[in-house]
Structure 1
Amino acid sequence: MQEQEKFLEELVLMAEEQQADAILMAGDVYDSVNPPAAAETMFYEAAARLTENGRQLVVISGNHDQPERVSAVAPLVSRRGISLVGLPTSECVRLHVPRTGETAVIAALPYPSEARLAELLAGDGDETELRIAYSAKVGKLMRQLSGAFQPDTVNLAMSHIYVLGGLECDSERPIQVGGAYTVDPSALDIGAQYTALGHLHRPQAVKAGGMVRYSGSPLAYSFSEAGQAKSVMQVDVVPGGIPQTEELFLTSGKPLVRWSCRGGLEEVWRYLDEGRDRSAFIDLELHLGEAMSMGDIQKLRKAHEGIVHIRPVYPGHEAEELVSSRAQMPVHELFRKFYQRQSGGAEPEEELVDLFMSLVSEDEERRDGEAE
């Protein structure tokens, strides 16, 4: 909660300093469909502050959210410049900007789950057919929304979806089963000048028609995000113009670090005495010759409240730990690590990763055919 509060404070200051006309939040207002009252209070207070001095806020629901809950107060806040869109609708969001006299038209599509689309995609179709059907439906909805675009308006789009080719993190809950609920980038080729996406936690651009980007999460939610620079994207655009963008980096989140202490508890206590990573969250891998006592664990957690995980490793268990961690790793991440090891640390190009994943997919299809 403290980190969230600090981020929202930083976002409000950014909006004021940059003289933002509008803020777009592309889903996942909350972490669950039944958020605690404190989280709702924090969101409403932040929304009120973000819309001071004529600024406007547009929010869509994500896969974590209960859509009706997000939009429940829409009638009360719409006059304050807050647009809350919980369920997919055929109506665009329209913003009039007094500062410039311009109008923005936003094709806003909240997380389009199977239930929210009121369409049964499961059944006899294979995964490829399901994905194509889902992607086509999303593309149809986006094209319907883009019908409101005009040459003299700022034309934007936003959604909470998983576009093929995006890089995931461990902390993202799956929004598709077996890869069926993914969207082809062509579904977003609707003539928007800028498309703001939510869901993936890593900030990244999407190879699609026009300028399409995931802002990423404002905070790191798992140690798979350690080292990621969190940011918000500032977009300056006029009707018919090419957007000018600037990535504004955030400083409010705590760093995530991993300690691998082969020297056992003695090494950990030396780190703590040195004050190492005092403000960070820590994933502690601790090599031991004998089991830790509950007293040892409690002392460590009391000495540094940021210790999140304590993972003891005993002699002979290293290989087992390595196999287990690899088994839980996404295929594309395994390939990246293999490439780095073989090339001495170089990062593979995205085209190479995509090619490898397409070969994996072809191999799986071949095996499925042989099994039948």
Structure 2
Amino acid sequence: MKLLHTSDWHIGRTIEGRDRHDEHEAFFNELIEIAEDEKIDAVLMAGDVFDSVNPPAKGEELFYESMARLSDHGKRPVVIIAGNHDHPERLAAARTLLRKHRIYIQGYPTIHPLRIPIEGSEADLCIAGLPYPSESRLKESFTEINDELAIREAYDLRISDIFNQLTSSFSNKDICVAMSHLFVAGGSSTESERPIEVGGAYTVRANQLPENVHYTALGHLHRPQNIHRSKAPARYAGSPLAFSFSEAGYAKSVTIVDALPGEKADIREVFLQSGRPLVKWKATEGLAQVHTWMDQRLDADAWIELDIHMKDTPSMEDIHRLKKHYPRLLNIRPIFPEQEQISGPERKHVAIDELFKQFYERQTGGASPDEDLTHLFLEIVNEEEGAS
């Protein structure tokens, strides 16, 4: 039996306010092509279908149309669980209709596994699906425990208990997989994931993932990666698109799991070609260097973040000209001579209020911000960090 594992589509997500609908459309076309070329028996989608609980209408339309094509109108099962960005009830609202097309959607955690007959296989596909297990979705609270380590232990045990119940009926005569959308301790995150819980207490140890399965398909982290120290193979498929510049240079992929009853599964990546790359430009020679790159059409299809070394603040006309020539140039960050002297680890330790003071002095021609203005700036920064 051959399975395809994908996750974290985040349909409707923008980058610096720019629409990425065409990239998601291209991804689904590629995903369907991979499923057909690889002769995939079932698709596992491990959460975060949408980027928000109220996705745009064209995003929902793309989702339903793509799922009909991906399932080959009922010939290929598609199993979807809700992630932390999904509205579990809204995502699963059409589950009765979709199940007739062998599209299975689970919004809330349960203790009941899913068993799906696969055409041409004597074995069934048994799935222990655990959608994003927040306190509210588990319908219990860990906040009465004051110690963070104790919270971690309690949460670990609860997740382990759910998986034990979900997999208790699994047999080595079937193909058995687990699915969840959570943060396994030791996984490598990027800036584009929002923390599941403040403080990181609500993570799960790798050894709490089920042992009596061929594979555990995980969602939440956007970088494709295997989980070490799990008792059975476990992996994050990663997101199909790069959502922040911290992901620049990382290849995106889906995971293929080839499994036989009672045998170890074969796991491999299929790399994706759709989705614009995210690229960081560092123009140490100023505007002239940027113009040369643009004339060469360097990274013409990419989203670009530009660091440009300059002596003076660029004019709005300069910025407008650059963005008109390269519409996907998203961020332009001028670096001035005094900043060049502060680099690497040392620069990271410069206080934020000092950086604000330096910026204010440049913008005003030497004036210093008063105490009230600096305090207001720090309040805004703290609010933004708390909301991210």
Is structure 2 residue 89 aligned with structure 1 residue 72? no
Structure with the largest fraction of helix: 1
Equivalent position to 1:51, from 65, 71, 75: 71
After TM superposition, where is structure 1 displaced by more than 4 Å over at least 4 residues in a row?
Answer: 319-325
Determine the C-alpha separation between the residues in 2 that align with 1:44 and 1:118. 29
Give me the whole-angstrom Cα distance separating, in 2, the residues matched to 1:190 and 1:263: 55
Structure 1: tracts of 5 or more residues without a match: 329-372
1:138 equivalent in alignment to 2:159: yes
The RMSD of aligned alpha carbons is 1.6
| Aligned match of 2:55 | 35
How far apart are the structure 2 equivalents of 1:246 and 1:95? 23
Q: CA deviation at 1:324?
A: 9.1
Distance in 2 (CA, whole Å) between partners of 1:321 and 1:41 is 47
After superposition, the Cα gap between the structure-2 partners of 1:176 and 1:304, relative to the gap in structure 1 and judged at 3 Å, is same
Deviation of the 1:327 alpha carbon: 6.3
Counterpart of 2:262 in structure 1 is 240
How far off its partner does 1:228 sit? Answer: 0.8
Asked if 2 retains the 8 angstrom alpha-carbon contact of 1:61 and 1:67, the reply is yes
- Provide the C-alpha distance between the structure 2 equivalents of 1:33 and 1:287, rounded to a whole number of angstroms: 41
2:383 alignment partner in structure 1? none
Does the CA contact (< 8 Å) of 1:21 and 1:55 recur in 2?
yes
Structure 1 length as normaliser, TM-score? 0.85
Q: Any idea what the Cα deviations from partners look like across 1:19-68, whole Å, max 9, x if unmatched?
A: 11100000000111111111111111110001116101000011111111
Aligned counterpart for 2:328 among listed residues 262, 284, 306: 306
What is residue 261 of structure 1 aligned with on the other side?
283
TM-score by length of 2: 0.81
Q: How many residues align?
A: 328
Q: How does 1:60-99 map to 2 (within 5 A)?
A: 60-99=81-120
One-letter identity of the residue aligned with 1:100: S
State how far apart, in whole Å, the 1-side matches of 2:28 and 2:347 are: 34
Q: Note the alpha carbon deviations across 1:90-142, whole angstroms, 9 max, x for none.
A: 11111110122321110000000111111111134211111111111111111
Counterpart Cα distance in 2 of 1:320 and 1:250: 38
Higher relative contact order (CA 8 A, sep 6+): 2
State the one-letter code of the partner of 1:106: I
| In the alignment, structure 1 residue 166 sits paired with structure 2 residue 187 | yes
- Residue type of the alignment partner of 1:275: R
Measured after TM superposition, the shift of residue 148 of structure 1 is 2.4
- 1:9-24 correspondence to structure 2 within 5 Å: 9-24=29-44
**Secondary structure of 1:140 counterpart:** helix
Following superposition, the deviation at residue 319 of structure 1 comes to: 5.1
C-alpha separation between the residues in 2 aligned to 1:161 and 1:273? 45
What is aligned with 2:372? none
- Residue correspondence of structure 1 range 1-372 to structure 2 within 5 A: 1-52=21-72, 54-207=75-228, 208-318=230-340, 326=348
Separation in 2 of the partners of 1:99 and 1:324?
Answer: 61
Q: Secondary structure at the match of 2:43?
A: strand
Any idea what SS the aligned residue of 1:316 has?
A: helix
Structure 2 gap segments, 5+ residues each: 1-20, 351-388
Give the Cα–Cα distance (whole angstroms) in 1 for the partners of residues 220 and 325 of structure 2: 35
> What's the offset of the Cα at 1:248?
0.6
CA distance in 1, matches of 2:64, 2:28: 11
Aligned residue identity for 1:130: I
